[in-house]
């Protein structure tokens, strides 16, 4: 009971911090003529409550695009605040295993560009997942083992079977997720995965996924119409992104066929074993 209360206290403190940060919105920089709202164009004052109300986690691409435009607008004069807000929101989602990190990866590309966005996405994914690991280790071991006994037992068995090449086994799970990433983050301390291996596997294993999401965000911020999206330049760029993202997975898969023992239960409950050809 004490561990549950401790976890609830951590969640509550983090929620209050993030909410307070979202309310502390600096004064908006002056909009350029092209970015002014309909009310401003007609000489009416803009609704001052409109901007803060849009500071929420996006749930679809339309909300994502609106939030990206707003944060790009603020970033022109308040880069530090936008960076702090983005990092805090990302770590909040990742630390507490809240779905939707793909939207934030796309947002990183739209706001910070392909290089800074990718670096941010990789670092924040890794740090947030490690915080989730530590929270599970401190507060959640008993609850996770009771809620998912079969999955935890299966993962424990596979970790023991692949302990001689544990890092590659963890990379395989990240590239080809036999189990959800959120579950792997929370169950890793229960099955005695060292935090160093866990940290490296998240940073490297989710790099292709983060790369695709960030590049998608970059393109969304640059595309003005569907004609731009289906131009030859964009199609070639998408092809290059796909090839770069698939290459690490192909290398890990080839290694796994020779070294790893990878029998996982299929969706119908039967065991399916991957054998070396």
Q: What digits encode the pLDDT tens for the residues 201-256?
A: 999 888 888 888 888 888 877 765 545 545 656 566 666 666 665 666 566 666 55
Q: How many whole angstroms separate alpha carbon 195 and alpha carbon 201?
A: 10
pLDDT in tens, 82-129: 999 999 999 999 999 998 888 899 999 999 998 999 999 999 999 999
Over the chain, what is the mean pLDDT? 78
């Amino acid at each position: 009971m004490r561990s549950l209360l401790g976890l609830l206290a951590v969640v509550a403190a983090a929620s209050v911090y993030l909410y307070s940060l979202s309310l502390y919105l600096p004064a908006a920089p002056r909009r350029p003529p092209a970015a002014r709202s309909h009310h401003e164009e007609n000489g009416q004052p803009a609704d001052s409550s409109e901007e803060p109300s849009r500071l929420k986690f996006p749930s679809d691409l339309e909300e994502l695009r609106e939030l990206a435009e707003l944060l790009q607008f603020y970033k022109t004069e308040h880069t530090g605040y936008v960076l702090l807000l983005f990092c805090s929101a990302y770590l909040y989602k990742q630390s507490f295993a809240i779905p939707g990190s793909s939207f934030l990866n796309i947002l990183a590309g739209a706001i910070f560009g392909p290089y800074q966005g990718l670096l941010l996405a990789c670092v924040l994914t890794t740090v947030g997942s490690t915080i989730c690991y530590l929270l599970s280790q401190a507060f959640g071991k008993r609850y996770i083992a009771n809620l998912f006994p079969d999955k935890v037992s299966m993962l424990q068995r596979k970790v023991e079977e692949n302990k001689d090449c544990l890092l590659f086994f963890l990379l395989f799970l990240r590239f080809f997720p036999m189990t959800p990433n959120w579950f792997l983050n929370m169950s890793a301390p229960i099955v005695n995965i060292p935090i160093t291996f866990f940290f490296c596997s998240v940073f490297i294993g989710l790099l292709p996924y983060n790369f695709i999401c960030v590049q998608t965000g970059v393109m969304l911020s640059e595309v003005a119409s569907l004609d731009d999206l289906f131009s030859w330049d964009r199609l070639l760029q998408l092809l290059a992104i796909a090839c770069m993202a698939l290459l690490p997975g192909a290398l890990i898969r080839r290694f796994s066929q020779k070294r790893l023992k990878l029998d996982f239960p299929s969706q119908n409950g039967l065991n399916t074993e991957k054998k070396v050809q």
